[in-house]
Structure 1
Amino acid sequence: MRLTHPSGTTLHLGYCTNVHPAEDLDGIIAQLDAYAVPIRDRLGTDVLGLGLWLAAPVAAALAADPAPRGRLRRELDARGLEVVTLNGFPYSSFQDPVVKHAVYRPDWTTPERLAYTLDLARVLAGLLPGDAARGSVSTLPLAWREPWDTAMADLAARHLDRLAEGLAEIESATGRTVRVGFEPEPGCVVETTEQAVAHLSRVDTDRLGVCLDLAHLACAWEQPAGALKALRAAGLPVVKVQLSAALETATPPALREYAEPRFLHQTRTAAGQAADDLGEALERDLPAPWRVHYHVPLHATPAPPLATTVPVLREALKELAGGPEPLCDHYDVETYTWGVLPAALRPRTPGQLAEGIAGELDFARTELRDLGVTA
Structure 2
Amino acid sequence: MAARFARVALENIQRPYPCKVDHLMTSADDLAPPAVHHPVFHGSYDWHSSVHMHWLLVRLLALFPDLEGAESIREALDRRLRPEALAAERDYFARPSAATFERPYGWAWLLRLQAESIDLAQRDARAVPWSAACAPLADLLAMRLIDYMAIADFPVRTGTHFNSAFALVMALDYAHALPHPALRQAVVARAHGWFGRDRRYPARYEPGGDEFLSGGLVEAVLMRQVLDGCGFAEWWEQFSPPAGELGQWLMPVAVSDRSDPKLSHLDGLNLSRAWCWGRLESSLPADLVPLARQARLDHLAAGLPHAAAGDYAGTHWLASFATLAMSEVSQAAATSAT
Task: Give the TM-score normalised by the residue count of structure 2.
Answer: 0.30
Larger strand percent: 1
Relative contact order (C-alpha < 8 Å, sep 6+): which is higher? 1
Task: Give the TM-score normalised by the residue count of structure 1.
Answer: 0.28
Larger helix percent: 2
